[in-house]
């Protein structure tokens, strides 16, 4: 595994940056989806 990472620096960067991008994306996408759902709900006035 380490030999593969040494030969492919792009894969190494992806493995290092991937989890951070996933966490940031999750905490940005979920609230955005919640805002869309709440804004589309009907009000009973």
Residue 36 lies in a domain: yes
Residue 25 lies in a domain: yes
Residue 4 lies in a domain: no
Work out the pLDDT band at 43, boundaries 50, 70, 90.
Answer: confident
Give residue 8's pLDDT: 85
Work out the pLDDT band at 45, boundaries 50, 70, 90.
Answer: low
Q: How many helices (H) and strands (E) does the chain have?
A: 2, 0
Count of domains observed in the chain: 1
pTM for the full predicted model = 0.56
Instruction: Give the domain range for residue 32.
Output: 18-45
Residue 45 lies in a domain: yes
Q: Cβ distance 12 to 5 under 8 Å?
A: yes
Residue 41 lies in a domain: yes
Residue 11 lies in a domain: no
Residue 39 lies in a domain: yes
Work out the pLDDT band at 31, boundaries 50, 70, 90.
Answer: very high
């Amino acid at each position: 595994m380490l030999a593969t990472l040494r030969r492919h620096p792009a894969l190494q960067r992806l493995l290092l940056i991937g989890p951070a991008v996933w966490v940031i994306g999750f905490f940005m996408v979920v609230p955005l989806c919640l805002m869309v759902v709440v804004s589309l709900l009907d009000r009973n006035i």
